[in-house]
Amino acid sequence: MPINDQDNEHSEGATPVPPAYRRRRLAIPVISAAVALVIGVAGGAGAVKLMRPTPEMAPMTPVAISAMPATSLVTIKGKVAEIYGNKFVLQDESGKALVETGRAGEDGDLVAKDEAVTVQGRFDDGFVHASYLVRQDGRTEALRPPKGPPHRRFADFDHGP
């Protein structure tokens, strides 16, 4: 038979429930709720960190093309020397660099010959994988879509492979 405060007040000969027992009985749900809250906050913070975009657009000072460090984020500034589809050659006083623009430059009209531009991206495999193009008038163009899986409609999940 469960012990509760109403039974103790009205029944004869029953022993009163000590206050420490009541506090202990209340402490278990409170501790459980606090643990669940901490787990939820930690999980939410982890999810936000994973979904945050990569910090590729960092305010960086341009480096000389001849001094670009291998496999790192770089900012280079110069004039467009040649255009090859979605790639172009950027030239400064120190040398030339091949810049790959991805889908944004597939038409070959993203930049013009002799146009002064600043490119931010990752230097890897001998050329710069451009993420941002900054024009001389200050306009900035993002050349790559945000990282992450492509978005699918909910109906796409209903059908099997």
pLDDT tens digits along 148-159: 555 555 555 555
Six-digit token pair at 93? 């006083």
**Whole-prediction pTM value?**
0.56
Q: State the pairing for strand pair 87-91/96-100.
A: antiparallel
pLDDT tens-place string over residues 40-85 = 888 887 777 766 555 445 557 888 998 888 778 899 999 999 999 8
Longest CA pairwise span in the chain (Å):
101
The class that CATH gives domain 65-142 is: mainly beta
Q: Which of 152, 158, 148, 153 is nearest to 50 (CA)?
A: 148
pLDDT for the residue 125: 79
